[in-house]
Amino acid sequence: MRFVEPQGRARRCRALAGLALSCLVTACATRNAADAIATELAQSFEAQSGVMLDRLQQSPDQALCSEPGAAASSASLAQRRAIERAARDGVRFPSGAPPSPQAWLGDWRRGERIAQSGVGLQTSDRPGTEAGGNCYGCHRLAPTEIAYGTLGPSLTGYGLRHPPDEAGLRDTWIRLFDSHAFDACSVMPRFGARGILSEEQLRDLLALLLDPQSPVNR
Ligand code: HEC
């Protein structure tokens, strides 16, 4: 998906600016204005490199979490809890053995590469590029890192706070597989549920977070 050619982009920018101005004037009083902006935006993208326009369709949970005032309404609170339950029910745990560090933890060195990689699922990627987790974009991981995002909490020492016993393994797996199991409106990507990362990649990330030898825990 990418913006259309420069002339088209300029024309659409002007159209969007006009719409935004009319929204300010009317305080976006009508849903029509919001729909018109959504339509203009949708027409500004085209499919590219396997990134298709269905990305522009919000899932029901995205739509709910985008509603102004949703957090305050008790109706949407019930919907949020329902989304969280459904996310939890949809988690696929690692195949085979029951939770134990030997059975579930992959290789933290590979996990570190996945956590520091932001490629995948972008229009600038060659089709078929394996996605990374882009964890560093939102979290601090190893204490030696100097560049990291702060949208999410620091994960430095995560494995010391969450020992890799059965509860630690399961809860962390659920968090990586589908962040909506904990919060329907979480901004953290739903790595397993949306097929962004494979089971093997998730095991490697689990090791990065929980293995005592991982730089996250040293
Ligand atoms: C777009 C930002 C973003 C990205 C990318 C992201 N996260 Fe998160 N993560 C968050 C936020 C925000 C939270 C706080 C809880 C919430 O809102 O869901 C969080 C919470 C967590 C937690 C729970 C922390 C705790 O102390 O309980 C873990 C573990 C975690 N993320 C791991 C990861 C890993 C591993 C990756 C990469 C595979 C990753 N996150 C990628 C935003 C992100």
CB-count exposure of residue 170 (10 Å: 0-12, 13-18, 19+): middle
CA of 173 to the centre of ligand 1 (A): 12
Ligand 1: residue of 108, 141, 188, 202 to mutate (most ligand atoms within 8 A of CB) is: 188
Q: Looking at ligand 1, which residue's alpha carbon is closest to its atom 13?
A: 152
Q: Which residues pair with 3 in a beta bridge?
A: 45
In the chain, CATH 1.10.760.10 sits at 88-217
Average pLDDT, the chain: 87
Q: What is the largest CA-CA distance in the chain?
A: 61
Q: Looking at ligand 1, which residue's alpha carbon is closest to its atom 32?
A: 176
Q: Looking at ligand 1, which residue's alpha carbon is closest to its atom 23?
A: 175
Ligand 1: residue of 136, 138, 196, 205 to mutate (most ligand atoms within 8 A of CB) is: 138
Which pLDDT score is estimated for 109?
Answer: 98
Q: Which one, of 7, 54, 16, lies nearest residue 36 by Cα? A: 16
Contact in structure between 8 and 15 (CB atoms under 8 Å): no
CA of 37 to the centre of ligand 1 (A): 31
Contact in structure between 120 and 129 (CB atoms under 8 Å): yes
The 3-state secondary structure of the chain, one letter per residue: CEECCHHHHHHHHHHHHHHHHHHHHHCCCCHHHHHHHHHHHHHCEECECCECHHHHCCCHHHHHHHCCCHHHCHHHHHHHHHHHHHHHHCCCCCCCCCCCHHHHCCCHHHHHHHHCCCCCCCCCCCCCCCCCCCHHHCCCCCCCCCCCCCCCCCCCCHHHHCCCCHHHHHHHHHHHHCHHHCCCCCCCCCCCCCCCCCHHHHHHHHHHHHCCCCHHHC
CATH architecture of 88-217: Orthogonal Bundle (1.10)
Contact in structure between 80 and 34 (CB atoms under 8 Å): no
Q: Looking at ligand 1, which residue's alpha carbon is closest to its atom 7?
A: 188
What mean pLDDT is predicted for residues 13-26? 52
Phi, psi of 36 (to 5 degrees): -65, -40
Structure tokens at 163: 């020992």
pLDDT-derived band at 67, boundaries 50, 70, 90: confident
Residues lining ligand 1, CB < 6 A? Answer: 115, 133-135, 137-139, 151-153, 155, 158, 172, 175-176, 179, 182-183, 186-189, 191, 205, 209
| Sequence letter at residue 54 | D
Residue 128 CA to residue 114 CA, distance in Å, equals: 16
Which pLDDT score is estimated for 31?
Answer: 76
CA of 139 to the centre of ligand 1 (A): 7
Taking residue 69's Cβ as centre, other Cβ atoms within 10 Å add up to 7
What mean pLDDT is predicted for residues 190-215? 97
Lowest mean pLDDT among 13-17, 42-46, 92-96, 148-152: 13-17
Query: Using one digit for the tens of pLDDT, what is the confidence trace for 80-139?
Result: 999 999 999 999 999 888 999 999 999 999 999 999 999 998 888 888 889 999 999 999
